[in-house]
Structure 1
Amino acid sequence: MVRSSLNNRNFVMANSGITRRRMLRSAAAGGLVAAAASGTPGVARAQSARKTFVLVSGAFCGGWIWRRVTDRLEQGGHNVFAPSLTGLADRSHLLSKDVNLDTHIADIVNLIKWESLDNVCLVAWSYAGFVGSGALESIGDRVSSIVWLDAYIPDDGQRVADIALEVVRKGIQVAVDKGEAGVRGSARYPAAVVAERDRAFAESKVTPHPVGTYLQQIKVSGALQRVAKKTYIRLPKFPQPPFDKALADCKSDKSWATFELPDVGHMAMLDAPDRVSELILQAA
């Protein structure tokens, strides 16, 4: 279990020229000032060096879900992109039957190419494990580290529909039977997904997810495994066997760092933005 250093903020910084307001802003960016003061060199370097992050959201969600993490990373001086995938959230007006997994992969590939991003830390949450895995096949040379947050690690030829939860598979079938372009999410999220304090907010933001993205087979050749620095974070409060398998596989592979946050729901970026931000910074 990861223990946050966010409460350790009693510092004496004489003659540093750093105001209390600036110090608090830095602390909000994942508690990394505290870690640096306590002599944790790796975390101190993560705070001092400017990083580039691309945060990819999961099904039914968009860039909005990363806002609390984005704010913390940007306050630390980092360059952050949290795009909504085609057909979702602020791009929900683009929902159509033509949107498939390749579309979402192209969203991320083109963002990285057109923004001329390099040395990227690519963060994928949940369904976005498929998107990130596919994107790495094209832009793996621009990505120096990855963080898979309760995310799928797909095999070649696999579809999301093959391994999704039963409730999602039923939603997919309903959408297909009705000829609808999108799969509708749950009407009410349990605590395993999001804390009560954010439930109404999350439920007001989610949009139908493009059905075609669930039905297309992914084509991967192992680019994900070739990334030098890899981190997997599991949120076991949310029951999902494919994520348990991904964690077990990563634990058995020394090229991966693994963490578990057992008290946090699947929407960890809402439940625990400080801890998520800190882990992402450490992993970059």
Structure 2
Amino acid sequence: MTAYVLVPGAFTGGWVWEQVAARLREAGAEAYPVTLTGMGERRDEAGPGTGPETHAEDLLRVIDAIADPRIVLVGHGYGLHPVLAAADRRPGRVARIVSVDTALPQDDEAAERSLPDPEARERLADGAGDGGWLSPPEPGGWPRWGSTEGVPAGSLERLERLAVPQPARTLTQPLRLTGPAAALPTTGVLCTANGSSIDLVEMLVESGPPQFRALADERMRFFELGTGHWPMLSAPEELAEVLRAAAAGEGHRVAAPGRAPGPERPAHLLPFLLDVPEVPRERHGRIDLHLPDTERPRPAVVFVHGGPVAPDQRPTPRDTPFLLGYGRYAAALGAVGVTLDHRMHGLADYPRAAEDLAEAVALVRAHPRVDGERIALWFFSTGGLLTADWLAAPPPWLRCLAASYPALAPLPGWAGVEPRFRPVDAVGTAGGPPVVLIRAGREHPAFAATVEEFLTAAGTKGAAVEVVDVPHGHHSFELVDPTDESRAAVERAMRSVLTHLGNAASPDGDR
């Protein structure tokens, strides 16, 4: 006999699991949908001290009352935090942890860090307001918390009607783990309409920081469901089948990368592939200006990182060897190299990142060391979606756009990205500056598909695009493939960008 303990996410109660629980019981299992203290019908039970430990204790009482020898703990969204805390305290009772469309949090991590809605994070940072409670989304606002694709209208109406405020401390206090939960078999249920997929996991294992290699561990398994973030409402029968398969140890195992993993350092902290000299650097708010050896106003190249980036990541992108290298390289060739920290902490943050970029460019153009009529923007990876605004309404001073291994349309399932951020639709619609596109030959398929779609659209509309190929390069090839081929590609791309800026390689050059 297997017993499933089903733990809901923020603002909800055990009622969201009713259909899944019914199907599990029909198949002969036990199912225990849990409503945590202060949630659902237990809203009035919360007090000033209600936090993650309160919810962990809720689950421990459920676990201790179950006689079945095999317990599968299932967490959705915020619910995964108390699931891990309870498993950490009762590892001998837990046969498997199942994460439903939710990244596994780490020890000392608060749930607020992974909230998909930036406005909610701001309200929590401001003290949550409303007496220590975080209000649920307004009607129509639920997609900001995860795709509602597939949820029937009646179920969505019920979700909006029954949602209750979340005790703020449950989101702001960090998770405390001692280690046993990390050794338990774990299954990830990935909802492709919300942007999760096995392909994405494989990309993180191959190209991401070393911590993601744990996803290729023997204890990890994965399933995909072709629905949004609420499969218990949109696909309860399919989810119940997946939970049964997960309990049996089935699922896809992600293979460890076939190529050498390289130094045991996060990829973004690996050294830049070119040996470039240090140059004077000025810091102004979110930007740094790397200055060439001349007092005359010079053109500028603004380097725009991808993401999402955790809000507490240190060093921030502009202080990594990667962006420091690019900024110094531009300055060494006579341009002002500008590096930027923008606030893309989740898929819903593209508008905020776009605002940060626009503000940064305005500040750069006003700087006395910058020729404000000669600006280039250079985007990396998922930052490529930010090119859409500049392609749709290019200002006359924007002389060039560059994009390295970019996403040029939202990746499959990225429903949380606003429709405006689709460079494949914007290219060629308003004339605009030439584009230098640096393409990795061993790119991840999801990224490569958007690049090909972009090139097709550019060809149809007559947009000027120069492609710089790195045939043997992977995503982030400057860091993971520091080869002569990669160095030559970076040098060629930089020369092309500076040529569009007008003889930038010579500090005394003319326009």
Aligned-partner residue type, residue 207 of structure 1: V
SS at match of 1:207: coil
Residue pairs, 1:158-197, within 5 angstroms: 158-165=109-116, 166-173=118-125, 176=127, 178=129, 180-187=131-138, 188=140, 189-190=142-143, 192-193=147-148, 195-197=151-153
Match of 1:148 in 2: 99
Match of 1:84 in 2: 35
How far the C-alpha of 1:219 sits from its partner, in A, is 1.4
Q: Is the 8 A contact 1:95 1:181 kept in 2?
A: no
Q: Following the alignment from structure 1 to structure 2, what is the Cα–Cα distance between the partners of residues 245 and 168? A: 26
Mark the runs of 5 or more structure 1 residues left unpaired by the alignment.
1-49
Aligned residues: 230
Q: Is the 8 A contact 1:53 1:123 kept in 2?
A: yes
SS at match of 2:193: coil
Q: Following the alignment from structure 1 to structure 2, what is the Cα–Cα distance between the partners of residues 133 and 150? A: 15
Match of 1:31 in 2: none
How far the C-alpha of 1:119 sits from its partner, in A, is 1.7
Q: Following the alignment from structure 2 to structure 1, what is the Cα–Cα distance between the partners of residues 152 and 47? A: 32
Match of 2:83 in 1: 132
- Deviation per CA, 1:199-245: give whole Å up to 9, x if none: 11211111111100111111113322211x321111142258xxx67
Bigger radius of gyration among the two:
2
How far the C-alpha of 1:115 sits from its partner, in A, is 3.6
Residue pairs, 1:45-64, within 5 angstroms: 50-64=1-15
Match of 1:256 in 2: 220
Q: Following the alignment from structure 1 to structure 2, what is the Cα–Cα distance between the partners of residues 211 and 196? A: 29
Asked whether 1:200 is paired with 2:168, we answer: no
Pick 1 or 2: higher relative contact order, CA cutoff 8 A, min separation 6: 1
RMSD of aligned Cα (Å): 2.4
* Same amino acid, percent of matched pairs: 24
Mark the runs of 5 or more structure 2 residues left unpaired by the alignment.
206-211, 248-511
Q: Following the alignment from structure 1 to structure 2, what is the Cα–Cα distance between the partners of residues 70 and 110? A: 19
Mean CA deviation greater in 84-93 or 94-103: 94-103
1 or 2, which has the higher strand percentage?
Answer: 2
Aligned-partner residue type, residue 121 of structure 2: R
Aligned-partner residue type, residue 280 of structure 1: L
If the length of structure 1 is used for normalisation, what is the TM-score?
0.74
Match of 1:215 in 2: 172
Q: Is the 8 A contact 2:136 2:164 kept in 1?
A: yes
Residues 183, 282 of structure 1: alpha-carbon distance in 2 compared, 3 angstrom cutoff = same
SS at match of 1:224: helix
Q: Is the 8 A contact 1:251 1:258 kept in 2?
A: no
Residues 180, 152 of structure 1: alpha-carbon distance in 2 compared, 3 angstrom cutoff = farther
Q: Following the alignment from structure 1 to structure 2, what is the Cα–Cα distance between the partners of residues 178 and 276? A: 36
SS at match of 1:225: helix
Asked whether 1:234 is paired with 2:190, we answer: yes
